[in-house]
Each structure stands twice: as structure tokens, then as C-alpha cells.
């Protein structure tokens, strides 16, 4: 293994600090917003006493720092609070929505990586040609389009006008009921394969295409541009020239050797774009009614559901750390000079 146990331990300790920091900041921010969540908690026709009781229940009558420590205590015990909106534990809510988002993000990154690298390689091979110009224009535009706008347009055009693909939800409820589909891992594409349920698989696949494409736009543009730049740089390096001089065929030099040099920085940049993509996922899930953590977080935000919001933010922060660690690990696996 190219990485040590100390590295993993160090990363875990770092994770704890990141989580604490994020926890603190989000907590403070949610308390700074002038809203009265006890009204929500108590329900629409609550009496003054009921509202007062709700304030006590939610510790809103105590000073903010006491609230924070009470929350922290619960959080460490694995109790992330009860969502004020759904009235179920935030932890379960987050877990059940997380897989929906992960499935979407993984498919989006997969598309972005494969297609992006291929596009970048083509641009690098044909640099300064019209193809290169075309790719540059497309990727610049793609990287600057706001995700929510793109999501709306794509939904409108492909879902509504052309009607090629369904543009809402993860899977059709009728198909689920009729075929008796039961989620196991929460990744529907995987679950349906495990259960040999082709109908659900096809439907889930159809439904994930549009949101995943929209979500992959930014990382795709990023990896395409990154690949082009790095590859051109790699082509000018001596070790590539020597392979040419030693008479290796072009495709070996390109696909076996140069691509490997190119991929490390591309993966690193994709890892960094994860945060941006998660924000994109919030928008995309809202537009495509995707029952993921973004959808959940957006709904929670709109109803001042503090525990749920904090739970979502923490989860995203944890994933951000995990992604960065994974990027480092991939780097150390590809590059023998890197030992973690």
C-alpha cells in the first residue's frame, strides 16, 4: 500500500476538526437568522402557551452558547436532533436522502470524467484547429452557465417539449409497486440489478440521465480544459519525446503513458470542484424533484429547520473531506513518488 496507517489517522483527526468547525459556523449562522422556528414546531394553530412550551423544548430560551453545547452533546451521541419540519430524526432523514444524491453525483462525475478527459485529449491532439476552438467555446460557456437555469431549460426542452426522457423523481412509483422493488443500498441502479429488476433499472436510468447531465456540465468543462492543458504540457516533456525516439507506436505513447501523467491533476481538479457540484446538486434536485439531500436541505432552509440544515451541511463537509482524501489516495496509487 502506498499510504500508511498514520496518514489515515491524521486524516480522521483532521475530519473531526473540520466537522467541529463547520458545526460551529453553521450553528451560529442559523441562530443569526431572524426567524421563529418555534412557530413551525408548534404548528399553525398553536396557543401562546404551546409556543412558549415549544421554545423551551427547543432550548430557544437559553443563551446561544448553551444551545450550542447542548447541540454538540447530542451530536456526539449520534443524536442529530429531530427535524422541525418532518418530525423524524435528522440522522435518518439525511441517511435516506444521501444515497439519492450520491447516486446522482457519482453518475455525474463519472460522465464528467470520462467524457471530459476524452474531449480534452481530442482538443490537445488537435490543438489550434477549429475542433480545439469549438471545444474551448463550448467548455467556457458550459462552465459559466448557472446550474439552475440549465436545469430548467433541459427539463423544459428534453422533458416537456421533446418528451424524450422523464424529468422528475428517481423512479416511477407504479413500477416500484407493480414489480415489488425494495431498495437495499439506496442506490437504485445497483439495487435493481441485484434484484434482477430490469423495469426499475431502465426507469431509474432514464430518470437519472437529465439531472446527471446537467450536474456534470461544470465538472465536465473543468476536466476537459484541464486535460487539454496538462496533456499539451506532457507532450512537450522529454520523457514523451524519448518514447517517440525509441519508436513506440503513437497509441501506446498516448493511451498508456501520457494519459497516466495527465490524469492525476485532472482528478485533483475534479475533487476540488466537488463543493461546487454539491451546490449544483441542491439546485438540480429542486428542479428535477430528486429526493436527495439537496432537496431536503433546500426544503429545510425554506422552513428554518435548523437541525436539518446543520445535519445536511455537516454531511456535505464530511464528504468534502472524504473526497479530498480519496483524491490523495488515488494520487499516491498512480504516482510512485508520492507516499502518504
Partner 1 sequence: MTDQPILQVENLTIDYVVLDGIIKAVRNVSFTINEGEVVCLVGESGSGKTTVGLAISRALPENAIIREGRIIFKGRDLLNLEIRDKSTIEDKVMMIFQDPAATLNPLFKVGEIFSDVIKHHLKLSDQLKIREKALEFLKAVELPDPERIFNSYPHELSGGMLQRVIIAITLSVNPKLLIADEPTTMLDVTLQAQILDLLINLKKKFGLSILFITHNLSIAAEIGDRIIVMYGGEIVEEASSEELLKNPLHPYTKGLLECIPKTHIKYSKLKSIPGMIFDLRNPPLGCVFVDRCTEATDLCRKDKPRLIEFLKNHKVACHLYRGSTK
Contacts with partner 1 by CB under 8 A lie at: 237-249, 252, 256-257, 260-261, 334-337
> Smaller CB distance to partner 1: residue 208 or 253?
253
Contact (Cβ atoms closer than 8 angstroms) between residue 132 and residue 242: no
> Smaller CB distance to partner 1: residue 170 or 331?
331
> Smaller CB distance to partner 1: residue 263 or 323?
263
> Smaller CB distance to partner 1: residue 56 or 256?
256
Considering the complex, what minimum distance in angstroms separates the CB of residue 334 from partner 1?
A: 7
Contact (Cβ atoms closer than 8 angstroms) between residue 280 and residue 151: no
CA 200 → CA 158, 223, 233, distances in Å? 21, 32, 45
Considering the complex, what minimum distance in angstroms separates the CB of residue 128 from partner 1?
A: 11
Helix (H) or strand (E) holding 287: helix 274-287
In this structure, how many other beta carbons lie within 10 angstroms of the beta carbon of residue 188? 25
> Smaller CB distance to partner 1: residue 61 or 237?
237
Considering the complex, what minimum distance in angstroms separates the CB of residue 246 from partner 1?
A: 5
> Smaller CB distance to partner 1: residue 10 or 239?
239
Considering the complex, what minimum distance in angstroms separates the CB of residue 252 from partner 1?
A: 6
Q: What angle do CA 81, 87, 92 make, to 5 degrees?
A: 60
Considering the complex, what minimum distance in angstroms separates the CB of residue 248 from partner 1?
A: 6
Considering the complex, what minimum distance in angstroms separates the CB of residue 337 from partner 1?
A: 5
> Smaller CB distance to partner 1: residue 87 or 251?
251
CA 338 → CA 322, 325, 328, distances in Å? 19, 14, 9
Q: What is the DSSP annotation of 150-216?
A: HHHHHIIIIIIIS--S--SSSS-HHHHHHHT---SSS-HHHHHHHTT-HHHHHHHHHHHHHHHHHHH
> Residues 236, 237, 242, 248: is their CA dihedral positive or negative?
negative
Q: Is 32 exposed, middle or buried (0-12, 13-18, 19+ CB in 10 A)?
A: exposed
Contact (Cβ atoms closer than 8 angstroms) between residue 267 and residue 330: yes
Considering the complex, what minimum distance in angstroms separates the CB of residue 258 from partner 1?
A: 8
Amino acid at each position: 500500500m502506498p499510504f500508511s496507517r498514520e496518514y489515515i489517522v491524521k486524516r480522521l483527526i483532521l475530519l473531526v476538526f473540520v466537522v467541529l468547525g463547520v458545526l460551529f459556523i453553521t450553528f451560529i449562522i442559523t441562530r443569526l437568522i431572524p426567524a421563529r422556528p418555534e412557530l413551525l414546531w408548534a404548528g399553525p394553530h398553536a396557543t401562546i402557551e404551546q409556543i412558549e412550551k415549544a421554545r423551551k423544548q427547543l432550548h430557544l430560551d437559553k443563551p446561544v452558547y448553551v444551545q450550542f453545547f447542548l447541540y454538540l452533546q447530542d451530536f456526539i451521541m449520534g443524536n442529530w436532533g429531530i427535524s422541525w419540519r418532518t418530525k423524524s430524526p435528522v440522522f435518518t432523514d439525511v441517511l435516506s436522502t444521501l444515497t439519492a444524491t450520491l447516486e446522482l453525483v457519482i453518475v455525474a462525475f463519472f460522465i464528467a470524467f470520462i467524457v471530459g478527459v476524452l474531449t480534452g485529449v481530442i482538443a490537445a491532439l488537435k490543438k489550434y484547429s477549429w475542433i480545439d476552438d469549438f471545444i474551448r467555446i463550448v467548455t467556457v460557456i458550459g462552465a459559466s452557465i448557472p446550474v439552475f437555469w440549465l436545469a430548467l431549460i433541459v427539463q423544459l426542452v428534453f422533458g416537456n417539449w421533446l418528451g424524450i426522457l422523464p424529468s422528475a423523481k428517481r423512479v416511477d412509483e407504479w413500477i416500484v409497486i407493480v414489480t415489488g422493488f425494495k431498495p437495499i443500498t439506496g442506490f437504485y441502479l445497483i439495487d435493481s440489478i441485484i434484484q434482477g429488476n430490469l423495469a426499475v433499472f431502465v426507469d431509474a436510468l432514464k430518470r437519472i440521465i437529465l439531472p446527471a447531465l446537467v450536474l456534470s456540465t461544470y465538472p465536465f468543462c473543468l476536466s476537459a480544459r484541464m486535460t487539454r492543458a496538462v496533456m499539451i504540457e506532457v507532450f512537450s516533456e522529454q520523457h514523451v519525446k524519448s518514447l517517440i525516439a525509441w519508436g513506440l507506436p503513437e497509441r501506446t505513447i498516448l493511451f498508456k503513458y501520457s494519459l497516466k501523467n495527465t490524469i492525476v491533476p485532472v482528478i485533483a481538479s475534479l475533487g476540488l470542484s466537488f463543493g461546487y457540484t454539491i451546490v449544483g446538486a441542491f439546485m438540480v434536485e429542486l428542479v428535477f424533484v430528486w429526493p436527495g439531500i439537496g432537496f431536503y436541505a433546500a426544503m429545510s432552509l425554506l422552513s428554518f429547520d435548523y437541525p436539518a440544515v446543520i445535519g445536511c451541511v455537516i454531511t456535505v463537509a464530511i464528504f468534502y473531506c472524504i473526497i479530498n482524501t480519496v483524491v490523495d489516495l488515488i494520487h499516491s496509487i498512480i504516482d510512485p513518488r508520492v507516499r502518504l
